[in-house]
């Protein structure tokens, strides 16, 4: 089956620093990737959608200057949390679609970010 990896699986950073999270599709080309955020005991909230080679589309209420998304290739998307603060601590999950008209999203294992 299609596999999506994320790195790192967990990260602790100090307030004010930036953190980059990578999302890779290992055995397929991902035309579209998604970034979700999940708070404890809550559902997944879509943050943004990105297509390879174009700017990401952010959901309402998500700060695009704070959560920088780059989808540089068909197998790699990155999420950079800039000037992180404790309220950014969360579980970030990426997901990928393998082609136009394919409605099945494959999810990465998630990245636990803790900002101290």
Partner 1 sequence: AQSVTQLDSQVPVFEEAPVELRCNYSSSVSVYLFWYVQYPNQGLQLLLKYLSGSTLVESINGFEAEFNKSQTSFHLRKPSVHISDTAEYFCAVRRDKLVFGAGTILRVKS
Q: Which residues here bind partner 1, judged by CB under 8 A?
A: 4, 6, 34, 42-44, 46, 49, 93, 95, 103-110, 112
Question: Based on CB atoms, which residue is closest to partner 1, 82 or 112?
Answer: 112
Least distance to partner 1 from the beta carbon of 38, Å?
Answer: 9
**Beta strands 57-58 and 44-51, pairing class:** antiparallel
Q: Least CB distance from residue 61 to partner 1, whole Å? A: 15
Q: What are the residues facing 81 on neighbouring strands?
A: 19, 67
Least distance in Å: CB of 72 to partner 1? Answer: 22
Our CB check for partner 1 shows the closer of 79 and 93 to be 93
Task: Give the residue carrying structure tokens 């990245």.
Answer: 111
Q: Is the Cβ of residue 19 or residue 110 nearer to partner 1 in the bound state?
A: 110
Min separation Cβ 46 and partner 1, Å: 6
Q: What's the per-residue H, E or C state across 26-85?
A: CCCCCCEEEEEEECCCCCEEEEEEEECCCCCEECCCCCCCCEEEEEEECCEEEEEECCCC
User: Which CB sits closer to partner 1, 5 or 15?
Assistant: 5
Inter-CA distances, 58 with 27, 44, 63, 111, Å: 26, 15, 8, 19
């Amino acid at each position: 089956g299609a596999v999506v990896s994320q790195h790192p699986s967990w990260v602790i950073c100090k307030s004010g620093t930036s953190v980059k999270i990578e999302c890779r599709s290992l055995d397929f080309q991902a035309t579209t990737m998604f970034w979700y955020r999940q708070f404890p005991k809550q559902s997944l909230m879509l943050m943004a959608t990105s297509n390879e080679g174009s700017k990401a589309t952010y959901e309402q209420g998500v700060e695009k200057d704070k959560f920088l998304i780059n989808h540089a290739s068909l197998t790699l998307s990155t999420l950079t949390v800039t000037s992180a603060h404790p309220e950014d601590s969360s579980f970030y999950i990426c997901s990928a679609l393998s082609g136009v008209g394919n409605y099945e999203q494959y999810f990465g294992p998630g990245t636990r970010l803790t900002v101290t």
